[in-house]
């Protein structure tokens, strides 16, 4: 299992990357807020996507509408770090956020 400091650094990096992707988006469509270790993205001021670290499990949990996902850091050598779902369905955290932004607010984000 990865060390806690390493895990926290990686979570902070991915959350800052996600937050930065929403920087130039019209806040009436989507707005992100990264504070106190949690990242919240509000879509059209109606739906919230919540990302929170789960330190004991070394995962990131995401909730949106009536769904929840658990993501773990994929162990891939020579590849950029990828957070994928822990159910083995191949769901990528960044890809899912981009898809939900398109569907929920017609917003294109690039990571």
Does residue 49 belong to any structural domain of this protein? yes
Per-position b or e across 37-63, b if 16+ CB within 10 A of its CB: eebbbbbeeeeebebbbeeeebbbebe
CATH (domain of 71): 3.30.920.10
CA atoms within 13 A on the CB side of 62: 22
Does residue 81 belong to any structural domain of this protein? yes
Range(s) of the domain holding residue 70: 4-105
Domain count, the chain: 1
Rounded to two decimals, the pTM is: 0.92
Does residue 8 belong to any structural domain of this protein? yes
Does residue 110 belong to any structural domain of this protein? no
pLDDT number for residue 2: 87
Decide: 44 and 104 in contact? Cβ < 8 Å.
yes
For 62-93, what is each residue's pLDDT tens digit? 999 999 999 999 876 555 679 999 888 889 99
Asked whether residue 104 carries a pLDDT value surpassing 70, the answer given is: yes
Distance CA 72, CA 65 (A): 21
Does residue 111 belong to any structural domain of this protein? no
Residue with tokens 């949106």: 64
């Amino acid at each position: 299992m990865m060390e806690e400091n390493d895990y926290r650094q990686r979570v902070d990096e991915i959350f800052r990357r996600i937050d930065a992707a929403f920087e130039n988006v019209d806040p009436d469509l989507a707005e992100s807020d990264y504070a106190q270790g949690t990242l919240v993205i509000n879509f059209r001021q109606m739906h919230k996507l919540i990302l929170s670290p789960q330190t004991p499990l070394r995962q990131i949990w995401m909730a949106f509408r009536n769904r929840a996902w658990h993501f773990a850091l994929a162990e891939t050598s020579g590849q950029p770090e990828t957070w994928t779902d822990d159910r083995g369905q191949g769901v990528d955290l960044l890809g899912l956020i981009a898809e939900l932004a398109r569907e929920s607010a017609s917003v294109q984000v690039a990571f």
